[in-house]
Amino acid sequence: MNEPINRSTRDRVSTPSEESKNTEGAPGASSANLAGAYETRKAGETRVNSPFRDAVRRYMTNWAAVFSLGLIIVLTIGAVFAPLLHTVNPDTIDYNALSNGPSWGHWFGTDPSGRDEYSQLMYGLRITFVISYAGTIVTVALGMSLGVVAGYYGGVVDALTSRFTDFMFAFPAFLFAIILVSLFGGAFDAWLPNGVGRAFILVLVFGLVSWPSLMRFVRSLVLGMKESQFIEAARTSGTSNIRIMTRHLVPNLWGLVLVQAAFVAAFIIATEAVLSIIGLGVNEPVPDLGRLLYDTASYMDQSAWGIFFPSLFLTLIILAFTFIGDGIRDAVDPRSN
């Protein structure tokens, strides 16, 4: 015969389904975030996991996304610390190794001038990553700010912002980038010499041509989120609009915005390489992947390795950012898989 359960004990114990009901209307609460939020450790004992922890766990199960993230981290570290990790200067000429293939002394071979291809590649990755990361930050700052403001306030603000975004969409992003770089590419060369001024212009250009799509994406999310119960509760309690946007809306957007940021980074790297190939990229002596492809194409018949490795790394980096974006999307929204 079963013993009766003490009422006080029964009242203190809640089931995961009951807890999930209590969390309805909380900031960022959704079926995707609540799925798997509880882990049974012992009989009658539960532990609540945060949505961030659940997303990280789901991301770590995607081997392609994990490998891609590791590859980007390793290449970024190698590029940032290139002067410390690579003892061979990319401009050093080895007259005894002209147009040589890969060897122990020169891992990726040498060009017809005797310069080490591996050192040139790692130094080139540095400027490529700087332009990509900085351009992505500018894109996210512009697109997220305008998208949140337009979606939250609506009305005239939304109409004006949306019409300006439509105007920006009228220009193809790549063609618009070519026009802007052609017009303003040398604007800062007098103040920022040695190719730094052109790199700064490229960062601004990529931010200007990439933000409209992100703005539309964020605006659509805010339109569906601003009528949620936790936003209504914040308004009722007298919370200011600025605080609602910065403390309630923006934190709940970061997961999906990171997905778009990964795709933007891939787009910037590919576009920057093409601009360098057609002569609109960074100025010498600053190298990047696009300029390496442009330079090595002129001596393909003498050293095929010179164009093989920059092409391989450019392809791997673009694919890696794409896989990272897909992995983050599946992690923050399991229903998308």
- The three state secondary structure string of 124-151 is HHHHHHHHHHHHHHHHHHHHHHHHHHHH
Cβ neighbours of 306 (radius 10 Å): 27
Cβ neighbours of 10 (radius 10 Å): 10
- Is a pLDDT exceeding 80 seen at residue 51? no
The reported pLDDT for the residue numbered 4 is 46
Q: Both tokens of residue 221? A: 């999310």
The reported pLDDT for the residue numbered 194 is 62
Assess if CATH 3.30.420.60 describes domain 62-336: no
- Cα 256 to Cα 325: distance, rounded to the nearest angstrom: 9
pLDDT category at 335 given cuts 50, 70, 90 is: low
Helix, strand, coil in percent for the chain, rounding step 5: 65, 5, 30
Show Cβ contacts of residue 171 under 8 Å, excluding neighbours closer than 6 positions: 209
Cβ neighbours of 237 (radius 10 Å): 7
Phi and psi for 110 in degrees, rounded to 5?
Answer: -130, 160
Question: Each residue of 301-322: pLDDT tens digit?
Answer: 776 777 888 899 999 999 999 9
For residue 45, list its beta bridge partners: 42
Question: Each residue of 232-245: pLDDT tens digit?
Answer: 898 888 889 899 99
The residue ranges of every structural domain in the chain are 62-336
Instruction: Write the DSSP symbol of residue 186.
Output: T
Q: Both tokens of residue 285? A: 């002596």
Give Cα 219 distance to the centre of its chain. 19
For residue 38, list its beta bridge partners: 48
Give the residue, 257 or 88, on which the prediction is more confident. Answer: 257
Axis-axis angle for helices 289-297, 305-332 (nearest 10): 150
The reported pLDDT for the residue numbered 183 is 84
